[in-house]
């Protein structure tokens, strides 16, 4: 037995001596540079690439199996240069490799230049032409080979890794867009398995369009890495990164983004943990912990929080214009918190807490990774929207400009709806707000519910309560076909119009209970399309109201006295006009609004109206009629009896640009009707007087008196 052992040891020593001697002989008598042409030819025949070795090739055999290559260029035949390399060094210790370990001296890669070009035709320089490409024969891997490769444990021990002066360029000739990664450098300490080792990475990146730089980034990363190759477990401890951005999007400024985190990954169990995440961007700071399981259909859990920040300061830091508001103290305290937990293949915010100054929103949200569906549920307490409105001067200027544009140019044909975005939108959302102050009005119990799938957007609820009444509205936007279709149904019930006007404009001109209904259909995708296609019905009714500041009957009386030159008594007892009921309905077809039943029962008189409004042609053809039913104001206005019970018409005809004084004029034909009525009444009175005289004579004769 001892003899056998000695024999084995002796054979081993002999093999070792032969390897040492062979390595020394190979290194002394064979120069790899003599085989450059054969290496280049093999690269072309076997790999289909043109390889040029312009520098020296250095090698060693024992105890380190090493290779050094200098100044090489690679490209596909007929293509522009793909890659070049200044120097690469790699050496493996043979005795350690034979024992199942990988011990390496420093890995050095210097001056890697990778040029990726996508031509206008769609071809690229990183793939061979079909005619010249050759498919390498595939080698079948037997089960025994696979099991052998998986069964061996590997231990790494690399002195260091140094990648210096790397540059990568991507050029899209069709769009003239170029992206560059330059000054890529990576260094590490001693790389080993099952122990932490340090590494640092840095690079510059730019994007240019048509030769003009758009954005530039300077990035640096550092961390400690842990590799457990046998168990497929990897850790990154103390990751710290800084990213400086500058360029056009930042309007000449620069922005620093810093992050810190600890990362653990178990590929065998398909688990990823991101712990202690810290992100800082200008005055915005975010933190959180996130875990992911099952990479094919991930389940995500964790917490995220954004500390309170000033939005305008953030916008200023990223080179954007500040948001100007009526109240300069808003948008200064915005914060966000959420808990992530939900079913597989979704990013689910189980709970959301959002603060906008003194307004709080709570709810939940989810994003389906499979179909992109967004689910959102947010409920808020109170919001004063007037504080967030633009300053009055800007609002008025914008309104004036908009009105001027509409008046001079007609209806715009510019597209309004983002058709493609709506077709791809997958959304289910419910938003509520208990109290809203907007345009000086107080609105409560606001509800908004939207469901969008496959190009059909259903806004089933646009509801609110205000001033003892309510608004109930629903809208459907259908963009599944070429021409968009919009339908809207609105119901207004019991709104006290006087309270609303008082709040909005501090006006006390009209009171009453407002009710209305409408059912409107629009087709197209512009204001011009909407106006020309508007079709449907509408009705409005106001009960138990009063018009303040004007006595309608008194005004009509005085106006008629002026016309008839009958004199005017300017004494007025009451400056208001109560009405019991006011209502109208309309049919709308292709933008023409037709109304035939306007009725209003006013104090001592009635108002009626009928006609049409042609929105596409911007024309009005409407007739108003006033009728004094009871002459209750003889003491304050000598209204002629001959006009009592006669409709006093006013015709309004013309375009929307016509001055109001010229748009509506009285129709004086009613005076002739009044005279005819008066003549008939006089004849009737005379007939009645004669009949009465004859009757009185007969009665006297009958009774002898």
pLDDT at 572: 45
Burial class (CB in 10 A: 0-12, 13-18, 19+), 104: buried
Which segment of 86-95, 97-106, 469-478, 524-533 scores lowest on mean pLDDT?
97-106
Considering the chain, what is the average pLDDT of its residues? Answer: 82
Question: Among residues 272, 313, 311, 277, which one has the least CA distance to residue 295?
Answer: 272
Q: In the listed set 212, 236, 257, which residue is the last one of a domain according to the structure?
A: 212
pLDDT at 657: 85
Beta pairing, strands 299-309 & 334-340: antiparallel
Give the number of domains in the chain: 2
Residues 6 or more apart in contact with residue 130 via CB below 8 angstroms: none
Q: Is the pLDDT of residue 279 over 90?
A: yes
pLDDT at 141: 45
Q: Is the pLDDT of residue 274 over 90?
A: yes
Supply 474's token pair: 């629903």
Which has more pLDDT, 692 or 317?
317
Has residue 613 been placed in a domain? yes
pLDDT at 253: 85
Residues 6 or more apart in contact with residue 418 via CB below 8 angstroms: none
Task: Report the alpha-carbon distance of residue 594 to residue 587 in Å, rounded.
Answer: 5
pLDDT at 140: 52
Residues 6 or more apart in contact with residue 251 via CB below 8 angstroms: 319, 320
Half-sphere exposure of 80 (CA within 13 A, CB side): 12
pLDDT at 468: 93
Give the range of the structural domain holding residue 624, as residue numbers without chain letter. 471-687
Q: Sign of the CA dihedral 121, 124, 127, 132?
A: positive
Has residue 320 been placed in a domain? no
pLDDT at 302: 96
Beta pairing, strands 155-158 & 233-247: unpaired
Residue length, the chain? 705
- Give the pLDDT mean for 309-330: 93
For residues 72 and 55, is the Cβ–Cβ distance under 8 A?
yes
Write the pLDDT tens digit of every residue in 187-202: 999 999 999 999 999 9
Q: Where are the alpha helices (DSSP H) in 283-391?
A: 311-317
- Give the pLDDT mean for 81-91: 89
Q: Is the pLDDT of residue 554 over 60?
A: no
Q: Where are the alpha helices (DSSP H) in 191-320?
A: 311-317
pLDDT at 444: 96
Task: Report the alpha-carbon distance of residue 286 to residue 303 in Å, rounded.
Answer: 11
Task: List C-alpha distances in Å: 663 to 652, 658, 666.
Answer: 5, 6, 10
Write the pLDDT tens digit of every residue in 350-373: 999 999 999 999 999 999 999 999
Q: Is the pLDDT of residue 637 over 60?
A: no
End-to-end CA distance of the chain: 178
Question: Among residues 429, 475, 423, which one has the least CA distance to residue 454?
Answer: 423
Q: In the listed set 186, 212, 238, which residue is the last one of a domain according to the structure?
A: 212
Which has more pLDDT, 651 or 587?
587
pLDDT at 392: 77
Has residue 257 been placed in a domain? no
Which segment of 121-125, 261-265, 437-441, 662-666 scores lowest on mean pLDDT?
662-666
Supply 658's token pair: 């016509």
**136 pLDDT band (50/70/90 cuts)?**
very low
Has residue 279 been placed in a domain? no
pLDDT at 463: 96
Q: Is the pLDDT of residue 480 over 60?
A: yes
For 20, other C-beta atoms within 10 Å of its C-beta total 13
Q: Is the pLDDT of residue 545 over 50?
A: yes
Q: Is the pLDDT of residue 284 over 50?
A: yes
For residues 211 and 228, is the Cβ–Cβ distance under 8 A?
no
Q: Is the pLDDT of residue 168 over 70?
A: yes
Has residue 401 been placed in a domain? no
Has residue 352 been placed in a domain? no
Supply 155's token pair: 């231990």
Q: What is the pTM of this model?
A: 0.74
**409 pLDDT band (50/70/90 cuts)?**
low
**565 pLDDT band (50/70/90 cuts)?**
very low
Has residue 37 been placed in a domain? yes
Has residue 412 been placed in a domain? no
Write the pLDDT tens digit of every residue in 39-57: 888 888 888 889 898 998 8
**570 pLDDT band (50/70/90 cuts)?**
very low
Write the pLDDT tens digit of every residue in 10-35: 444 444 444 444 444 445 556 778 87
Q: Is the pLDDT of residue 631 over 60?
A: no
pLDDT at 13: 43
- Give the pLDDT mean for 257-266: 96
Write the pLDDT tens digit of every residue in 594-615: 999 998 877 667 788 999 999 9
Beta pairing, strands 374-384 & 427-438: parallel
Residues 6 or more apart in contact with residue 335 via CB below 8 angstroms: 305, 306, 307, 308, 309, 354, 355
């Amino acid at each position: 037995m001892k003899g056998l052992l000695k024999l084995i040891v002796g054979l081993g020593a002999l093999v070792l001596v032969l390897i040492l001697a062979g390595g020394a002989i190979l290194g002394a008598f064979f120069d790899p540079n003599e085989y450059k042409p054969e290496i280049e030819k093999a690269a072309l025949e076997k790999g289909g690439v043109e390889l040029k070795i312009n520098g020296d090739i250095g090698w060693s055999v024992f105890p380190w199996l090493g290779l050094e290559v200098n100044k090489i260029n690679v490209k596909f035949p007929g293509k522009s240069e793909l890659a070049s390399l200044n120097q690469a060094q790699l050496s493996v210790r043979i005795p350690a490799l034979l024992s199942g370990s990988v011990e390496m001296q420093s890995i050095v890669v210097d001056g890697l230049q990778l040029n990726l070009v996508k031509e206008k035709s769609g071809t690229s320089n990183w793939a061979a032409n079909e005619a010249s490409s050759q498919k390498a024969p595939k080698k079948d891997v037997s089960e025994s080979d696979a099991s052998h490769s998986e069964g061996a444990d590997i231990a790494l021990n690399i002195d260091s890794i140094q990648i210096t002066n790397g540059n990568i360029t991507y050029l899209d000739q069709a769009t003239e867009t170029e992206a560059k990664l330059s000054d890529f450098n990576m260094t590490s300490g001693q790389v080993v398995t099952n122990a932490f080792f340090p590494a640092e990475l840095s690079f510059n990146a730019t994007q240019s369009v048509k030769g003009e730089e758009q954005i530039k980034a300077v990035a640096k990363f550092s961390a400690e890495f842990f590799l457990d190759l046998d168990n497929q477990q990897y850790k990154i401890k103390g990751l710290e990164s800084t990213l400086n951005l500058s360029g056009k999007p930042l309007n000449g400024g620069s922005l620093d983004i810093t992050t810190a985190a600890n990362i653990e990954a178990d590929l065998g169990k398909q688990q990823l943990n991101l712990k202690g995440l810290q992100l800082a961007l200008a005055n915005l700071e975010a933190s959180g912990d996130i875990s992911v399981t099952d990479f094919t259909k991930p389940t995500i859990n964790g917490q995220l929080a954004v500390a309170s920040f000033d939005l305008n300061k953030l916008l200023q830091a990223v080179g954007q214009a500040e948001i100007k508001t009526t109240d300069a103290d808003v948008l200064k305290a915005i914060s966000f918190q959420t808990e992530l937990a939900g079913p597989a293949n979704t990013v689910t915010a189980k709970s959301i807490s959002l603060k906008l100054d003194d307004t709080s929103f709570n709810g939940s949200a989810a994003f389906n990774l499979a179909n992109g569906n967004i689910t959102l549920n947010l409920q808020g307490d109170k919001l004063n929207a007037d504080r967030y409105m633009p300053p009055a001067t800007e609002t008025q200027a914008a309104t004036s400009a908009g009105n001027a544009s509409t008046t001079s140019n007609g209806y715009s044909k510019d597209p309004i709806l983002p058709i493609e975005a709506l077709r791809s939108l997958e959304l289910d959302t419910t938003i509520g707000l208990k109290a809203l102050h907007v345009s000086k009005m107080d609105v409560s119990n606001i509800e908004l519910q939207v469901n969008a799938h496959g190009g059909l957007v259903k806004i089933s609820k646009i509801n609110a309560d205000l001033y003892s009444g309510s608004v109930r509205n629903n809208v459907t936007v259908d963009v599944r076909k070429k021409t968009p279709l919009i339908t809207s149904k609105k119901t207004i019930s019991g709104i006290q119009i006087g309270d609303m006007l008082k709040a909005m404009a501090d006006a006390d001109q009209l009171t009453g209970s407002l009710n209305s209904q409408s059912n409107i259909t629009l087709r197209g995708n512009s204001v011009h399309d909407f106006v020309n296609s508007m079709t449907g019905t509408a009705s409005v009714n106001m009960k138990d109201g009063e018009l303040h500041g004007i006595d309608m009957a008194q005004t009509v009386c005085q106006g008629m006295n002026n016309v008839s030159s009958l004199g005017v008594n300017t004494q007025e007892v009451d400056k208001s006009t109560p009405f019991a009921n006011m209502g109208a309905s309309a049919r709308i077809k292709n933008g023409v609004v037709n109304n035939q039943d306007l009725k209003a029962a006013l104090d001592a008189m009635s108002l009626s109206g009928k006609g049409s409004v042609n929105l596409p042609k911007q024309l009005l053809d409407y007739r108003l009629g006033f009728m004094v039913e009871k002459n209750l104001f003889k003491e304050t206005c000598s209204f002629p009896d001959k006009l009592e019970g006669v409709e006093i018409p006013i015709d309004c005809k013309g375009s929307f640009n016509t001055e109001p004084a010229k748009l509506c004029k009285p129709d004086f034909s009613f005076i002739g009707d009044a005279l005819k009525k008066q003549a008939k009444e006089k004849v009737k009175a005379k007939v009645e007087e004669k009949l009465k005289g004859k009757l009185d004579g007969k009665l006297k004769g009958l009774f002898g008196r």
